[in-house]
Each structure stands twice: as structure tokens, then as C-alpha cells.
Chain A
Amino acid sequence: MKTQSRLEKVLASGALAVTSEVGPPRGAIPEKVKEKASLIKDHVDAINVTDNQTAMVRMSSWAAGVIIKQMGLDPILQMVTRDRNRLAMQSDIIGAYSMGINTMMCLSGDHVKFGDHPMANGVFDLDSIQLVQAVRKMRDEGKFQGGADIKSPPKMFIGAAANPFADPFELRVMRLAKKIKAGADFIQTQCIFNLDKFEKYMEMVCDRGLDEQVHLLAGITPMKSAGMARYMKNKVPGMDVPDDVIKRMEGVSKEEQPEEGIKIAIESIERLKKVKGVHGFHIMAIEWEEKVPQIVEKAGLFPRPVV
């Protein structure tokens, strides 16, 4: 074991891991973090805590992560390189680790243009791959970016993201290979709706033997409505929602659409469980956390293993 991370232990046990996420509130409302985490606490192995997601200011991911940690749960500290330079990131990693957070997720982050601070300067002192390298260097070599030794280095289990659907498709596996080479221990993917394409991607991943070098958690998002499906298809960059999924959502009444969305999510998990290289699921129920337990149970992923 590289770390004390519960996620690492679950993955090492060979069980399919389950993670989900909590978006911190836009205000000093610690109760909100607890409330959201409580909804999913028994059904996941670890909880991603997003970092100023969609480039909007929120409670910092490490602070919200500490609140979750204090509930006896396992937060995954998300960190985007958009908002901090390498000094700030390394100090936050040490700080988070000192508060008991041992798993993190390295991202570049949405461009500031999409948030409510489009006038802010995006930092991007490092990119996501360089952040993975930096965290690994802290853990495995006990060194800061500047080369100095760290007294009692933070031991983080390192995650990175992959979008199997963004263009150009031929680069996607190479990019994953780069993240693994940089030091990613696990990967959480973008929401998967186009299962055929994802399976093709996973074949390519396995052909290169990457499935043996990294734990890949497939991203699952239940859709609340046909409108949401259309929005994700048309407006969210790098999202691939096939027409038959939209048709299926449109094929039922508005009242039944949420239930249909959950059904699709569960069927997706059932199908992806059989795909070689998929070691778990990352369920992103956007502002719909209360549905996560139902999905996990119906997909046969409950109870969660004790490690």
C-alpha cells in the first residue's frame, strides 16, 4: 500500500469501488456539507469534494473535506490548478494531509470564463499532469517542487480525470497513459452515456496494458429529465450523449423521467461492470445526492466492503 487511503484498500481488495461527490456550499454553511455527505455516507467508499467547481467561489475543498473527515468518512480532495500556484497547492496538500485527508484528485479546472468571476486571472502554474507529478514527488521522494526535502511528507493516493469522449479520440488513450506515467493511481472518468464508445476506449486501454497500471472508475450521472440530457449533449463541452438516450428520456412522461434516468444509470453500471479494466464507479448525481443510495443498491454494489 502506498497510502492509508480507504479507496486504495478497497481497490486493492479487488472489489468494485464506489465514489460520489459533494459540492461545497457558496457560503459558510458547514451543515450543508454534513447534510450532503450524510445522504451518501453508507453507500460510497470515498467522497469527492469539488474545488470551486464551474469556476464559482465555494467553501474551499480542503475545509469541506475536513468537515467530512470529522464525520468519520473519507473525502477525496479535488484540486484544480486554475486557482493556485505550486506553492499554494503544495501547502494545501500538506495542510489537508495533516487534517487526515489522504486521497486527492488532480485537475486543471474549468476555465474562469464559465464561472461568475470571468474577470479573474487563471493561474495554471501547473497543469493537471504536472500536479499529479508534484503530488507523487511529495509522496515518493519526499521533495517539494523546488527540490527541498519535506519533513514528514504527505502520502496521498493520487487520482486524475479522463474524458474518453473529448476530441481528438485517438489522443484519449495516449493522454491517459501520460497521466499514469506522471503517477496517477486511480482515474475517474467523465460521465458515460455512450457506452459503445466507452467500451471501445477501454479495449484500447487494455490493449496497452494500462488497466493493470491504474484503477479506472467509470463516471455515472443519472439524468433528471430529457431537458437535462439535451443540455448535456448540446452545451457541455466534451460530453457525448447519444440520441437514443435522449429519445428514451423523451419517451416517458415528464413525471417518469427522473425514474427513467435512474434506470439508465443502473443499467449502465450493470453493463460496465463486465468491462475489463473498470474497477469501480464514480457517481456524479448533480444536486441529486439523495438518489445515490438507491442507484448503488439497485446496481448490486451494496453493502460496501469493510477494509
Chain B
Amino acid sequence: MITAEQKPLKEIIEYISPYDRILLVGCNECVTVCAAGGRKEVGLLASALNLHSLKQGRTIDIKEITLERQCDPEYVEELVSEIDRADAILSMACGCGVQTIAERYKEKPVFPAVNTKFMGASQSQGIWVERCQGCGDCLLGITGGICPVARCSKHLLNGPCGGTSDGKCEIAPDVDCAWCLIWERLKALGMEKRYEEIMEAKDFRPAGGGGPRKIIREDLSL
């Protein structure tokens, strides 16, 4: 999923300070799972913003809505009935959600309330780790199911570098060396020989080097 973290309150407050009526929009998908921008976080942020404005002796009108999915125009359409009563929109979705709203409601300013972080998996409750960089040309089939693009600090396709020690990356003792993991996994699978095959220089076009990426499924488009 896409992971996110709430922005510092100070930054959020700066964005919305000129406005009296805020439409605070959460999203029921990824940001709900990583507890950054779901219904619950929308409520908490609204409360904090209320406390802030009351302290300053003013009231703001915060309307809380959590959409099923903010990155889909169909769901973003649901804001139509609320939009006229808002001076600004504060979105707690990932960057995709923020932009979907901005594109639909061009006359209202939209501000992000979270920083979108990475595509990650849940390691344990409350801990999310980066697992994919969306390079558009998945290598997991030849790297034992461990991604060197996302998990090696240097994105080396022919690792490990000389900086690994005890299976850890040189950048921090709590970061696993992706290539040590790959090697262990290849060994366990009896695929050691694969290690000596040189992985050729990566074509970065599918990774975004060719400009903004797009998927067109003609069988699905109307």
C-alpha cells in the first residue's frame, strides 16, 4: 500500500489559516490502514485544529468527510454537495488523492495534510517498511523475492557492495543488506548459480525516466 505520515501541525495550520470553512477529507484506503488519514485521523486533526483556533479566539468550521477512495473521480464527486460551503479543502489522502480533488474542484485551494512516503508493507503493528519503488519492470523473479531496487541503499543490481557487515547495510545497523538477504534466499532455493549472472544496466523508462507513467486498458475503458 501507499504509506503516509501526518504533516507537522504547524505546517497544516499555516496552510489553512486564511480560511474559515475547511472541508477536511480523509480516505478509506491506504492511509486508513497506515493510520495517517482515515476517519479516525480526520477526527483527531479536526479536533486539534479546533483547539488551535479557539485558543486564538476564533472559530473555524471544519466539515469532516472520509471518502471511500480519494484517487477515484467517482468518489471525489461526492464532495459536490459540500464544496460550496468550504473555503478550502484539506486532504488527508496520499498525493494521488490530493491531486484528484484539485483536478475536480479547480476553484478551491487544496492542501495536503500528510506526507506521502513510500509503497510499503506492514512489518508488525505500527511499523511499515519500504518494499517497492514501482520501477515498472519487476525483478523479484530473479532475486529470490527480495527487491534490490527498493531495499539496497544504493539500488545495486549486482550487490552487495563492500560496506555490508553481519548482514546489515553500512548506512545503519537496523537496515538489512538486501543483497545478503537475496543471497541467503538464493542459497535456500538452491539457486546460487544465478548470483553470478550479471544483471545488465537497468532501463529506467518503465521506472518513470520516460516521463509520467500511464496504464491504458482498452478492455476496461468506456
Contact = CB atoms under 8 A, between A and B. Distances in A.
Is chain B in direct contact with chain A in the complex (CB below 8 A)?
yes
A163 B162 contact: yes
B162 A161 contact: yes
B47 interface: no
B209 to A, nearest CB: 9
B178 to A, nearest CB: 12
Contacts of A82: 154
Contact of A167 (B180, B195, B199): B180
B157 A130 contact: yes
Interface stretch (B21-29, B56-64, B166-174): B166-174
Contacts of B167: 167-168
A168 B183 contact: yes
Q: Taking each of A128, A178, A237, which has the highest tally of chain B beta carbons within 10 Å of its own beta carbon? A: A237
Contact of B154 (A111, A171, A174): A111
B151 to A, nearest CB: 13
A160 B163 CA distance: 15
B154 A108 contact: yes
B153 interface: yes
A166 B165 contact: yes
B138 interface: no
Contacts of B164: 166-168, 237-238
Interface of A: 82, 86, 108, 110-111, 113-114, 122, 124-130, 133-134, 145, 161, 163, 166-168, 171, 174-175, 177-178, 181-182, 190, 237-238
Given A127-B154, A166-B162, 16 more contacts: A122-B153, A124-B156, A127-B156, A127-B157, A133-B200, A161-B162, A166-B161, A167-B167, A171-B160, A171-B183, A171-B195, A177-B196, A181-B198, A237-B164, A238-B163, A238-B170
A178 B153 contact: no
Contact of A166 (B154, B163, B196): B163
B165 A237 contact: yes
B158 interface: yes
Given A174-B195, A181-B196, A108 B161 contact: yes
B198 A108 contact: no
Q: Taking each of A108, A122, A134, A161, which has the highest tally of chain B beta carbons within 10 Å of its own beta carbon? A: A108
Interface string B134-159: 00000000000000000001111111
Q: Taking each of B180, B198, B204, which has the highest tally of chain A beta carbons within 10 Å of its own beta carbon? A: B198
A280 B141 CA distance: 40
Nearest to A181: B198
B198 A182 contact: yes
23 contacts: A82-B154, A86-B201, A108-B156, A108-B161, A110-B163, A111-B153, A111-B163, A113-B171, A122-B154, A128-B158, A130-B200, A130-B201, A161-B162, A163-B162, A166-B162, A171-B160, A171-B195, A174-B196, A175-B160, A178-B158, A181-B198, A237-B165, A237-B170
A134 B158 CA distance: 14
B204 A125 contact: yes
A161 B157 CA distance: 16
B156 A237 contact: no
Q: Taking each of A133, A181, A238, which has the highest tally of chain B beta carbons within 10 Å of its own beta carbon? A: A238
Interface residues of B, number: 28
Contact of A238 (B157, B162, B198): B162
A233 B167 CA distance: 17
A126 B204 CA distance: 11
Contacts of B170: 111, 114, 237-238
A168 B180 contact: yes
A114 to B, nearest CB: 8
Contacts of A168: 164, 167, 180, 183
Nearest to A113: B171
Nearest to A109: B154
Nearest to B156: A127
Contact of A127 (B158, B163, B195): B158
Contacts of B156: 108, 124, 127-128
B2 to A, nearest CB: 21
A134 B195 CA distance: 20
Contacts of A111: 153-154, 163, 170-171
Nearest to A145: B201
B133 to A, nearest CB: 12
A190 B162 contact: yes
A166 B196 CA distance: 17
Contacts of A125: 201-202, 204
Cβ-closest 7 pairs across A and B: A163-B162, A237-B170, A129-B158, A237-B163, A127-B156, A238-B162, A130-B201
Given A130-B200, A134-B201, A174-B195, A238 B154 contact: no
A238 B155 contact: no
A178 B196 contact: yes
Contacts of A238: 162-165, 170
A113 B175 CA distance: 13
Contacts of B201: 86, 125-126, 130, 133-134, 145
